[in-house]
Structure 1
Amino acid sequence: MPGGRLTHEDRRQIASWLAEGLGYAEIGRRLGRPTSTISREVARNSAAGGYLADHAQHSAGRRARRSGPVQA
């Protein structure tokens, strides 16, 4: 996976560039990420007002701390 997880700064850049009207492919190129990473990030974290970086970061943090299945 190129670059590991998205950082809060990555998410702020995504929000800024989306507001400027850039497409997912261009945002991916600028961040050095696949277009699919950007499109999934935006789809997963968009609300009625659009993509919100702070909300996305909070949601990602909750998902990262979620416990997995118990192993025997």
Structure 2
Amino acid sequence: MQISARATALRRAIERATGEPAAAHRTEAGLRISAPVPADCGPERWADILGALSAADRWGASGAAGLTQIWVEIQEDL
């Protein structure tokens, strides 16, 4: 899947901030990128993660079974 320069930069920023690989997939609205957050994530790393997330159109996090997953969505021309 080919993604825009904006999406590529956002994916890289998320991977740097979390230290984990990020996955991207198309949605009806554009593109969603998600990545797990390490369990030992401290305040400094969360600050980096929130900085990366703020570049997206929409973002959030979910948690289950002790795993936190962050996600962002950006509007992309399909």
Normalised TM-score (structure 1): 0.34
Structure (1/2) with the larger helix percentage? 1
Higher strand share: 2
* Pair member with larger Rg: 1
